[in-house]
Amino acid sequence: MKHIFGFTMTAAAGFLLLSLTAPSQAQEHTLRIQTHFPAESTPGSVIKQFIDDVETMSAGRLRIQMHYSSEVVAQNETLGAVSQGILDCDMTGISGHGGKDAGWQFAGDIMGGYDTPYQFLAWLDFAGGRELVQSRLYDPMGVHLVGYWLQGHESLSSTRSLAGFADLKDWKFRSPPGLETEIFASFGAKPIVMDFGEVPNALRTGIVDGADASTLNTNDSLGLFDIAEHATFPGFHSMPTETLSCNKAKWNALPADIQRMMHVAIKRAALDLALQTEIKDKRVANKISAAGVTLHDWSTEDRKEFRSFARSRWDEWKPRTPAATAIVDSHIAFMRELGLID
Protein backbone atom coordinates (compact mmCIF):
# COMPACT_ATOMS: atom_id res chain seq x y z
CA MET A 1 0.00 0.00 0.00
CA LYS A 2 2.89 2.32 0.82
CA HIS A 3 4.43 1.44 -2.52
CA ILE A 4 1.18 2.27 -4.27
CA PHE A 5 0.79 5.41 -2.20
CA GLY A 6 4.40 6.40 -2.90
CA PHE A 7 3.97 5.84 -6.63
CA THR A 8 0.80 7.87 -6.59
CA MET A 9 2.53 10.74 -4.83
CA THR A 10 5.45 10.62 -7.28
CA ALA A 11 3.11 10.67 -10.25
CA ALA A 12 1.14 13.54 -8.75
CA ALA A 13 4.34 15.48 -8.21
CA GLY A 14 5.27 14.84 -11.82
CA PHE A 15 1.94 16.08 -13.09
CA LEU A 16 2.24 19.14 -10.87
CA LEU A 17 5.71 19.86 -12.28
CA LEU A 18 4.41 19.55 -15.83
CA SER A 19 1.52 21.88 -15.10
CA LEU A 20 3.86 24.45 -13.58
CA THR A 21 6.27 24.37 -16.52
CA ALA A 22 3.60 24.15 -19.27
CA PRO A 23 3.09 27.93 -19.68
CA SER A 24 6.79 28.52 -20.39
CA GLN A 25 6.89 25.61 -22.83
CA ALA A 26 3.76 26.83 -24.60
CA GLN A 27 5.66 29.74 -26.11
CA GLU A 28 9.28 28.84 -26.61
CA HIS A 29 9.96 30.82 -29.79
CA THR A 30 8.89 34.10 -31.39
CA LEU A 31 9.47 35.27 -34.96
CA ARG A 32 9.12 38.90 -36.02
CA ILE A 33 8.17 38.91 -39.72
CA GLN A 34 7.47 41.78 -42.12
CA THR A 35 5.45 41.83 -45.33
CA HIS A 36 4.68 44.71 -47.66
CA PHE A 37 1.10 43.51 -48.15
CA PRO A 38 -1.78 45.10 -46.20
CA ALA A 39 -3.56 42.79 -43.77
CA GLU A 40 -6.85 43.21 -45.68
CA SER A 41 -5.42 42.16 -49.07
CA THR A 42 -5.71 38.66 -50.53
CA PRO A 43 -2.06 37.88 -49.70
CA GLY A 44 -2.68 39.39 -46.26
CA SER A 45 -5.49 36.91 -45.62
CA VAL A 46 -3.21 34.06 -46.70
CA ILE A 47 -0.55 35.28 -44.27
CA LYS A 48 -3.10 35.24 -41.45
CA GLN A 49 -3.88 31.61 -42.28
CA PHE A 50 -0.14 30.84 -42.39
CA ILE A 51 0.25 32.31 -38.89
CA ASP A 52 -2.70 30.29 -37.59
CA ASP A 53 -1.30 27.12 -39.19
CA VAL A 54 2.16 27.32 -37.63
CA GLU A 55 0.92 28.46 -34.23
CA THR A 56 -1.66 25.67 -34.16
CA MET A 57 0.69 22.95 -35.41
CA SER A 58 3.31 23.98 -32.87
CA ALA A 59 0.71 23.90 -30.07
CA GLY A 60 1.61 27.47 -29.19
CA ARG A 61 5.36 26.86 -28.97
CA LEU A 62 5.91 29.31 -31.85
CA ARG A 63 4.38 32.78 -31.89
CA ILE A 64 4.56 35.09 -34.89
CA GLN A 65 4.54 38.87 -34.67
CA MET A 66 3.55 39.98 -38.19
CA HIS A 67 4.24 43.50 -39.39
CA TYR A 68 2.06 44.37 -42.40
CA SER A 69 2.50 47.14 -44.98
CA SER A 70 6.26 47.53 -44.39
CA GLU A 71 5.61 48.71 -40.86
CA VAL A 72 9.19 48.44 -39.56
CA VAL A 73 11.39 49.18 -42.59
CA ALA A 74 10.78 50.01 -46.26
CA GLN A 75 9.90 47.08 -48.51
CA ASN A 76 13.26 46.98 -50.30
CA GLU A 77 15.06 47.07 -46.93
CA THR A 78 13.29 44.06 -45.40
CA LEU A 79 15.75 41.39 -46.54
CA GLY A 80 18.69 43.47 -45.32
CA ALA A 81 16.97 43.94 -41.96
CA VAL A 82 16.61 40.15 -41.70
CA SER A 83 20.27 39.65 -42.56
CA GLN A 84 21.23 42.11 -39.82
CA GLY A 85 18.88 40.59 -37.25
CA ILE A 86 16.61 43.65 -37.02
CA LEU A 87 13.77 41.42 -38.20
CA ASP A 88 13.67 37.63 -37.99
CA CYS A 89 11.97 36.83 -41.30
CA ASP A 90 10.96 38.45 -44.61
CA MET A 91 7.72 37.80 -46.53
CA THR A 92 8.22 40.20 -49.45
CA GLY A 93 9.33 39.96 -53.08
CA ILE A 94 12.97 39.68 -54.11
CA SER A 95 13.17 40.65 -57.79
CA GLY A 96 13.59 44.29 -56.76
CA HIS A 97 17.06 43.46 -55.46
CA GLY A 98 18.31 43.01 -59.03
CA GLY A 99 20.42 46.14 -58.67
CA LYS A 100 22.50 44.37 -56.01
CA ASP A 101 22.91 41.14 -57.95
CA ALA A 102 21.13 40.35 -61.23
CA GLY A 103 20.46 36.87 -59.85
CA TRP A 104 17.74 38.28 -57.60
CA GLN A 105 15.75 39.40 -60.65
CA PHE A 106 15.57 35.86 -62.01
CA ALA A 107 15.08 34.26 -58.63
CA GLY A 108 12.03 36.48 -58.20
CA ASP A 109 10.55 37.04 -61.68
CA ILE A 110 11.87 35.58 -64.92
CA MET A 111 9.56 37.94 -66.92
CA GLY A 112 7.58 36.22 -69.67
CA GLY A 113 8.86 32.77 -68.72
CA TYR A 114 6.35 30.46 -67.07
CA ASP A 115 2.67 30.11 -67.89
CA THR A 116 1.47 29.27 -64.36
CA PRO A 117 2.61 29.80 -60.76
CA TYR A 118 2.73 26.03 -60.36
CA GLN A 119 5.52 25.82 -62.95
CA PHE A 120 7.60 28.36 -61.04
CA LEU A 121 7.04 26.48 -57.78
CA ALA A 122 8.01 23.24 -59.53
CA TRP A 123 11.29 24.83 -60.66
CA LEU A 124 12.00 25.78 -57.06
CA ASP A 125 11.44 22.37 -55.46
CA PHE A 126 11.85 19.83 -58.26
CA ALA A 127 14.37 21.33 -60.68
CA GLY A 128 17.15 22.55 -58.40
CA GLY A 129 15.95 26.14 -58.03
CA ARG A 130 15.90 26.12 -54.23
CA GLU A 131 19.49 24.95 -53.93
CA LEU A 132 20.72 27.53 -56.43
CA VAL A 133 18.91 30.47 -54.87
CA GLN A 134 19.98 29.42 -51.38
CA SER A 135 23.66 28.91 -52.17
CA ARG A 136 24.15 31.79 -54.61
CA LEU A 137 22.04 34.50 -53.00
CA TYR A 138 20.84 33.75 -49.48
CA ASP A 139 23.88 32.02 -47.97
CA PRO A 140 26.17 35.05 -48.39
CA MET A 141 23.59 37.09 -46.43
CA GLY A 142 23.24 34.59 -43.61
CA VAL A 143 19.58 33.96 -44.48
CA HIS A 144 17.61 30.72 -44.91
CA LEU A 145 15.05 30.41 -47.72
CA VAL A 146 11.95 28.73 -46.30
CA GLY A 147 9.79 28.89 -49.43
CA TYR A 148 8.04 30.78 -52.22
CA TRP A 149 4.44 31.92 -52.55
CA LEU A 150 2.98 33.80 -55.51
CA GLN A 151 -0.29 35.05 -56.93
CA GLY A 152 0.16 34.31 -60.61
CA HIS A 153 0.36 36.47 -63.72
CA GLU A 154 -0.21 40.18 -63.37
CA SER A 155 -2.43 42.21 -65.68
CA LEU A 156 -1.82 45.57 -67.31
CA SER A 157 -4.55 48.20 -66.92
CA SER A 158 -4.89 51.09 -69.36
CA THR A 159 -6.98 54.02 -70.53
CA ARG A 160 -6.16 53.00 -74.13
CA SER A 161 -6.20 49.76 -76.06
CA LEU A 162 -3.66 47.02 -75.29
CA ALA A 163 -4.56 44.51 -77.96
CA GLY A 164 -0.99 43.75 -79.02
CA PHE A 165 2.54 45.04 -79.57
CA ALA A 166 1.43 47.94 -81.77
CA ASP A 167 -0.49 49.45 -78.85
CA LEU A 168 2.65 49.67 -76.72
CA LYS A 169 4.07 52.49 -78.83
CA ASP A 170 4.32 55.63 -76.64
CA TRP A 171 2.23 53.96 -73.92
CA LYS A 172 3.13 55.62 -70.60
CA PHE A 173 2.70 53.25 -67.71
CA ARG A 174 3.72 52.68 -64.13
CA SER A 175 6.39 50.01 -63.98
CA PRO A 176 8.41 48.43 -61.20
CA PRO A 177 12.19 48.89 -61.57
CA GLY A 178 14.44 46.35 -63.23
CA LEU A 179 14.15 44.09 -66.23
CA GLU A 180 10.54 45.02 -67.03
CA THR A 181 11.40 48.64 -67.84
CA GLU A 182 13.97 47.51 -70.41
CA ILE A 183 11.65 45.01 -72.07
CA PHE A 184 8.72 47.38 -72.49
CA ALA A 185 10.89 50.32 -73.51
CA SER A 186 12.21 48.18 -76.35
CA PHE A 187 8.66 47.87 -77.68
CA GLY A 188 8.25 51.65 -77.70
CA ALA A 189 6.47 51.98 -74.35
CA LYS A 190 7.45 54.64 -71.82
CA PRO A 191 7.75 52.99 -68.40
CA ILE A 192 7.70 55.29 -65.38
CA VAL A 193 8.96 53.85 -62.11
CA MET A 194 6.79 54.95 -59.21
CA ASP A 195 5.56 53.67 -55.88
CA PHE A 196 2.62 51.26 -55.97
CA GLY A 197 0.43 53.56 -53.89
CA GLU A 198 0.79 56.42 -56.38
CA VAL A 199 -0.85 54.51 -59.24
CA PRO A 200 -4.53 55.51 -58.83
CA ASN A 201 -3.81 59.25 -58.72
CA ALA A 202 -1.25 59.04 -61.55
CA LEU A 203 -3.81 57.30 -63.75
CA ARG A 204 -6.57 59.70 -62.77
CA THR A 205 -4.45 62.79 -63.53
CA GLY A 206 -3.05 61.46 -66.80
CA ILE A 207 0.55 61.18 -65.64
CA VAL A 208 0.37 57.63 -66.96
CA ASP A 209 -1.89 55.90 -69.48
CA GLY A 210 -1.83 52.66 -67.57
CA ALA A 211 -0.07 50.55 -64.99
CA ASP A 212 1.51 47.29 -64.13
CA ALA A 213 -0.03 47.14 -60.67
CA SER A 214 -0.28 43.46 -59.78
CA THR A 215 -3.20 41.12 -60.60
CA LEU A 216 -6.56 41.95 -62.13
CA ASN A 217 -8.37 41.71 -58.80
CA THR A 218 -5.78 43.98 -57.17
CA ASN A 219 -6.27 46.52 -59.97
CA ASP A 220 -9.99 46.40 -59.24
CA SER A 221 -9.48 46.82 -55.50
CA LEU A 222 -7.38 49.93 -56.22
CA GLY A 223 -10.29 51.41 -58.17
CA LEU A 224 -8.30 51.52 -61.42
CA PHE A 225 -11.27 50.42 -63.52
CA ASP A 226 -13.15 53.53 -62.50
CA ILE A 227 -10.70 55.16 -64.94
CA ALA A 228 -9.10 52.46 -67.08
CA GLU A 229 -11.28 50.90 -69.76
CA HIS A 230 -8.78 48.28 -70.94
CA ALA A 231 -6.75 45.47 -69.39
CA THR A 232 -4.72 42.44 -70.45
CA PHE A 233 -6.25 39.21 -69.21
CA PRO A 234 -5.15 36.48 -68.79
CA GLY A 235 -1.80 38.07 -67.94
CA PHE A 236 1.47 36.95 -69.49
CA HIS A 237 4.24 39.47 -68.94
CA SER A 238 5.16 39.21 -65.26
CA MET A 239 4.66 36.79 -62.39
CA PRO A 240 6.66 38.07 -59.41
CA THR A 241 7.17 35.75 -56.49
CA GLU A 242 7.11 36.43 -52.79
CA THR A 243 9.37 34.52 -50.44
CA LEU A 244 9.58 33.55 -46.81
CA SER A 245 13.16 33.72 -45.59
CA CYS A 246 14.60 33.90 -42.08
CA ASN A 247 17.81 34.97 -40.41
CA LYS A 248 19.95 31.81 -40.27
CA ALA A 249 20.88 32.13 -36.61
CA LYS A 250 17.20 32.54 -35.72
CA TRP A 251 16.20 29.69 -38.03
CA ASN A 252 18.83 27.32 -36.66
CA ALA A 253 17.61 28.02 -33.13
CA LEU A 254 14.18 26.58 -34.01
CA PRO A 255 13.58 22.88 -33.29
CA ALA A 256 13.50 20.62 -36.35
CA ASP A 257 9.79 19.93 -35.99
CA ILE A 258 8.93 23.66 -35.99
CA GLN A 259 11.17 24.19 -39.02
CA ARG A 260 9.22 21.44 -40.79
CA MET A 261 5.94 23.09 -39.81
CA MET A 262 7.13 26.35 -41.38
CA HIS A 263 8.04 24.56 -44.63
CA VAL A 264 4.66 22.83 -44.76
CA ALA A 265 2.71 25.98 -43.92
CA ILE A 266 4.36 28.11 -46.62
CA LYS A 267 3.58 25.42 -49.21
CA ARG A 268 -0.07 25.58 -48.20
CA ALA A 269 0.09 29.37 -48.41
CA ALA A 270 1.53 29.15 -51.93
CA LEU A 271 -1.26 26.89 -53.14
CA ASP A 272 -3.98 28.90 -51.40
CA LEU A 273 -2.73 32.20 -52.84
CA ALA A 274 -2.48 30.89 -56.40
CA LEU A 275 -5.96 29.34 -56.25
CA GLN A 276 -7.60 32.36 -54.59
CA THR A 277 -6.02 34.70 -57.14
CA GLU A 278 -7.23 32.58 -60.05
CA ILE A 279 -10.79 32.58 -58.74
CA LYS A 280 -10.85 36.27 -57.80
CA ASP A 281 -9.33 37.35 -61.12
CA LYS A 282 -11.99 35.48 -63.09
CA ARG A 283 -14.78 36.91 -60.97
CA VAL A 284 -13.42 40.42 -61.50
CA ALA A 285 -13.00 39.76 -65.22
CA ASN A 286 -16.70 38.90 -65.50
CA LYS A 287 -17.70 41.92 -63.44
CA ILE A 288 -15.65 44.55 -65.26
CA SER A 289 -16.45 43.09 -68.69
CA ALA A 290 -20.13 43.53 -67.92
CA ALA A 291 -19.34 47.12 -66.88
CA GLY A 292 -17.72 47.88 -70.24
CA VAL A 293 -14.01 47.24 -69.66
CA THR A 294 -12.33 45.55 -72.64
CA LEU A 295 -10.12 42.59 -71.74
CA HIS A 296 -7.33 41.86 -74.20
CA ASP A 297 -6.20 38.24 -74.41
CA TRP A 298 -3.00 38.40 -76.46
CA SER A 299 -2.69 35.84 -79.22
CA THR A 300 -0.48 32.77 -78.90
CA GLU A 301 1.83 34.29 -81.51
CA ASP A 302 2.20 37.56 -79.60
CA ARG A 303 2.83 35.73 -76.35
CA LYS A 304 5.53 33.62 -77.98
CA GLU A 305 7.10 36.75 -79.43
CA PHE A 306 7.09 38.42 -76.02
CA ARG A 307 8.74 35.36 -74.43
CA SER A 308 11.29 35.22 -77.23
CA PHE A 309 12.20 38.87 -76.79
CA ALA A 310 12.27 38.55 -73.00
CA ARG A 311 14.67 35.64 -73.41
CA SER A 312 17.05 37.85 -75.39
CA ARG A 313 17.07 40.16 -72.37
CA TRP A 314 17.74 37.23 -70.03
CA ASP A 315 20.80 36.47 -72.13
CA GLU A 316 21.96 40.07 -71.78
CA TRP A 317 21.47 40.12 -68.01
CA LYS A 318 22.78 36.72 -67.06
CA PRO A 319 26.55 37.40 -67.59
CA ARG A 320 26.36 40.21 -65.03
CA THR A 321 26.93 37.90 -62.07
CA PRO A 322 27.67 34.19 -61.50
CA ALA A 323 24.35 33.86 -59.65
CA ALA A 324 22.40 35.29 -62.59
CA THR A 325 24.16 32.95 -65.03
CA ALA A 326 23.42 29.86 -62.95
CA ILE A 327 19.78 30.76 -62.24
CA VAL A 328 18.90 31.76 -65.82
CA ASP A 329 20.51 28.59 -67.19
CA SER A 330 18.51 26.54 -64.69
CA HIS A 331 15.23 28.20 -65.71
CA ILE A 332 15.97 27.70 -69.42
CA ALA A 333 16.75 24.01 -68.92
CA PHE A 334 13.49 23.48 -67.04
CA MET A 335 11.43 25.47 -69.54
CA ARG A 336 12.78 23.25 -72.29
CA GLU A 337 11.60 20.22 -70.34
CA LEU A 338 8.15 21.78 -70.12
CA GLY A 339 8.11 22.67 -73.83
CA LEU A 340 7.84 26.41 -73.15
CA ILE A 341 10.92 27.26 -75.24
CA ASP A 342 12.93 25.48 -77.90
CB 44 within 8 A of CB 68: yes
Residue 76 — very low, low, confident or very high, per pLDDT cuts 50/70/90?
confident
Mean pLDDT of 9-17: 40
CB atoms within 10 A of CB 163: 15
**Distance separating alpha carbons of residues 41 and 46, to the nearest angstrom:** 9
Condensed to tens digits (0 to 9), the pLDDT of residues 95-132 reads 888 789 999 999 999 999 999 999 999 999 999 999 99
Query: Across residues 206-235, what is the average pLDDT?
Result: 95
What pLDDT is stored for residue 177 in this prediction?
A: 80
User: Strands 156-158 and 230-232, how do they pair?
Assistant: antiparallel
Percent of the chain past pLDDT 90, that is, above it, reads: 80
Laid out side by side, the sheet with 172-175 consists of 190-193, 172-175, 210-212, 156-158, 230-232, 294-296
In the chain, what are the domains?
27-151+239-279 (3.40.190.170), 156-237+292-338 (3.40.190.170)
Average confidence score pLDDT of the chain: 91
Q: How far apart are CA 239 and CA 152, in angstroms?
A: 5
**Looking at residue 139, what is its pLDDT?**
98
pLDDT of residue 176: 85
Which of 320, 273, 253 lies closest to 93, judged by CA?
Answer: 273
The least confident of 16-25, 177-186, 331-340 is 16-25
* Strand 172-175 versus strand 230-232 pairing type: unpaired
What three-state secondary structure class fits 243?
Answer: strand
Check if the beta carbon of residue 171 is closer than 8 Å to that of residue 187: no
Band (198; pLDDT cuts 50, 70, 90): confident
Distance CA 240, CA 75 (A): 15
pLDDT at position 95: 87
